[in-house]
Amino acid sequence: MRKARNARQISLEDLGHLSEINWTTIGKIERGASSPTVESLVRIATALEIDPGSLISGITSDDYRQRQHRLTARDLIAARQANNN
């Protein structure tokens, strides 16, 4: 987000005005101090004229707090199938 904003030479205040999101909130999102809602991501991306998906590309659950397990839907299905055999 910051990279796209800086590439367009848009200040936090300008992006806040364009996206109708408080610029201090945008600053927190850029620093990773706050997690945005989907609506906020779409508003910011629209203001920056980028695909909203590009703002979360490459992010995984490992980028957040420690996970209790690493199971996926595929793991769950395989375990169920193994238990049924």
In a domain, 36, yes or no: yes
In a domain, 79, yes or no: no
Q: Which two tokens stand for residue 55?
A: 């703002």
DSSP 31: H
Q: Could you give the number of structural domains in the chain?
A: 1
Model pTM score: 0.75
Q: What is the pLDDT of residue 61?
A: 77
Q: Are 69 and 75 in contact (CB under 8 A)?
A: no
Show the domain range for 38: 1-58
In a domain, 35, yes or no: yes
CA 31 vs CA 2, 58, 73, 74, 84: distances in Å: 9, 17, 31, 33, 47
pLDDT average per 10 residues of sequence, the chain (85 residues): 96 97 96 93 97 91 76 89 86
